Amino acid sequence: MNKINRILTVLGGLFLVLFSWVTPVFAAAAKTPKFVPGNIAWVLASTALVLIMTPALGFYYGGMVRKKNVLNTISLSFITICTVSVVWILWDYSMAFGPDAFLGIIGNLKYLGLAAMGVNQHSRYDGTIPSFIYVMFQLMFAIITVALISGSLVERIKFSSWVVFTIIWVTIVYAPVAQSVWGIGGLFQKMGALDFAGGTVVHINSGVAGLAGALVLGKRKGYMKENIVQPNQLAYTILGGALLWFGWFGFNAGSALEANGLAASAFLVTNTATAAAAISWMLAEWIHSGKPTTLGMISGAVAGLVAITPASGFVNPLAAIVIGLVVGVLCYSMVVFVKPKLGYDDSLDAFNVHAIGGAWGALATGLFADPLINPAGRGLFYGNPHQVVIQLITILSVAGYSFVMSFIIFKLIDKFMGLRVSKEQEAMGLDITQHEESGYNL
């Protein structure tokens, strides 16, 4: 009997040792998330939707400039897709979304060239999709953020200088802001800043950079002395704006990174706020000037898209209507009253719409964030006044950093290679002088 007991004891010990080895393996396997085909399909589709926004932006901007500058204006958006796509893979994704390297404001170079990233690697930001998909999704945000800046600079910036600017700016300005707001362990992310799809990272960042560039470039020839705004084709602008609206569903709803209820909510409030803003801009213009214009309606819609972006994953439909109604009037007032009074030449109102609309949207997120929509956010009207303080700190910090760094970048480019075309080239038009092409038979 004692012999049997000893044998059982030894076997029991061996079992415990084996169990202690195997249990962590099973536990690790249980914790490893599985790829979800529906989520993968949704984020792939959203990525494509966000990509179409940048060519759409080119047409949106291109329709508003003079005939002699239409191709150049569109090309600024198109070349941005190319330059940022390469830089993003080589180093920028790692700086924007790699493991923190310094104070939550810059990622390390672990993913330099994506060499350390396998095809079946799970994303750090949502384990149900592969890392490669997340890389591509975030690339589209980086592209359009840079392209938006061109709206403040068109009809006078050298094409070569723009290409150099895109490479430097996405590295020095965009990557730290993205890491700070969206990165795991990012400075503002740890503070509790709410930015679902880019009110600070995309819109404030780009709009403020556009203002810095406009100030360095100076005003267009004859600005405020003659009617230089002669849109070559407003139908282009309307088409571009409509495609922006379409693509923005991927921008906002895709930021849920899953095909779930939060994506559906973001989809709904995006459309709601956009419609409300188009109506409020139209009414403000109708009351002020006596006529509702097509340009005003589409401009209002874009302002609504901007404002709902940071709030899209946090607010309910009624709050979305308020956000849209306010931003339409706010951005119309910036364009019609503030810009002429201050005299800065923000050519196509990148600052007036994106920086101002993005700031309102980010602040409104702190006011209206509804825990029934997303438990990760609770705003002032739901018992958390501190969220407004966090949002304000984030807004001012991002705006200040973007303006200072962008101003320096523009100044350095101007010093070493020249930023602005000559007066003669500006008079001839940038289509001919920069590309030897013409969008129209002039």
Per-residue pLDDT, averaged over 103-108, amounts to 94
- Distance of alpha carbon 427 from alpha carbon 423, whole angstroms: 6
Q: Is the pLDDT score of 2 beyond 80? A: no
| Helices within 63-130 (DSSP H only) | 70-87, 93-97
State pLDDT tens for residues 311-365. 999 999 999 999 999 999 999 999 999 999 999 999 999 999 999 999 999 999 9
Distance of CA 241 to the CA centre of its chain: 16
**Residue 131 pLDDT > 90:** yes
How many residues appear in the chain? 442
| 3 state DSSP class of 130 | strand
Smallest Cα–Cα separation from 347: which of 177, 222, 198, 236?
Answer: 222
Other beta carbons within 10 Å of 168: 17
Give the three-state DSSP class for 437: coil
Q: What percent of the chain has pLDDT over 70?
A: 91
- Per-residue pLDDT tens digits for 206-218: 999 999 999 999 9
Say what the pLDDT of residue 197 is.
97
Q: Among 118-127, 215-224, 233-242, name the most confident range.
A: 233-242
Q: For residues 241 and 18, which has the higher predicted lDDT (pLDDT)? A: 241
- Segment 256-282 shows an average pLDDT of 98
* Mean predicted confidence (pLDDT) in 222-244: 83
Shortest CA distance to 203 belongs to which of 66, 394, 404, 31? 394
Taking the C-alpha atoms of residue 317 and residue 271, their distance in angstroms, rounded to an integer, is 9
pLDDT at res. 333: 98
Cα 28 to the center of its chain, rounded Å: 35
SS3 358: helix
Handedness of CA 7, 9, 12, 14 (dihedral sign): negative
Residue 14 confidence (pLDDT) above 70:
no
The pLDDT tens digits for 379-389 are 999 999 999 99
Q: 75: pLDDT confidence band, cut at 50, 70 and 90?
A: very high
In terms of phi and psi (left: phi > 0; alpha: psi -120 to 50; beta: otherwise), the region of 113 is: left
Q: What would the pLDDT profile of 324-339 be if each residue is shown by its tens digit?
A: 999 999 999 999 999 9
CB-based contact 432:392 (threshold 8 Å): no
User: Do residues 154 and 76 make contact, with C-beta atoms less than 8 angstroms apart?
Assistant: yes
Residue-wise pLDDT tens digits, 385-409:
999 999 999 999 999 999 999 999 9
CA quadruple 147, 90, 199, 216: dihedral, nearest 10: -50
Question: Is residue 1's pLDDT more than 60?
Answer: no
b or e along 132-148 (b: 16 or more beta carbons within 10 Å of the residue's beta carbon)? ebbbbbbbbbbbbbbbb
Question: Across residues 93-117, what is the average pLDDT?
Answer: 94
| Res 277 pLDDT > 60 | yes
With a cut of 70, say whether residue 151 has pLDDT above it. yes
User: Sorting pLDDT into bands at 50, 70 and 90, what band is 20?
Assistant: very low
Q: How high is the pLDDT of residue 222?
A: 77
DSSP states of 186-212 as a string? -HHHHHT---SS-IIIIIIHHHHHHHH
As a whole number of angstroms, the distance between CA 364 and CA 423 comes to 43
How far, in Å, CA of 149 to CA of 73, rounded? 12
With tokens 């029991």, the residue in question is 12
Q: Answer positive or negative: Cα dihedral of 90, 394, 277, 303.
A: negative
Whole-number pLDDT of residue 30: 47
132 and 119 Cβ atoms separated by less than 8 Å: yes
Residue pair 75/160 in contact (Cβ under 8 Å)? The answer is no
pLDDT of residue 442: 57
Average pLDDT over residues 63-70: 95
Mean pLDDT of the chain: 92
Residues 230 and 180: their CA atoms lie apart, in Å, by 40
The yes-or-no verdict on residue 146 having pLDDT over 60 is yes
Helix pair angle (205-217, 386-417), 10° resolution: 30
Considering only residues 45 and 229, tell me which one the structure prediction assigns the higher pLDDT: 45
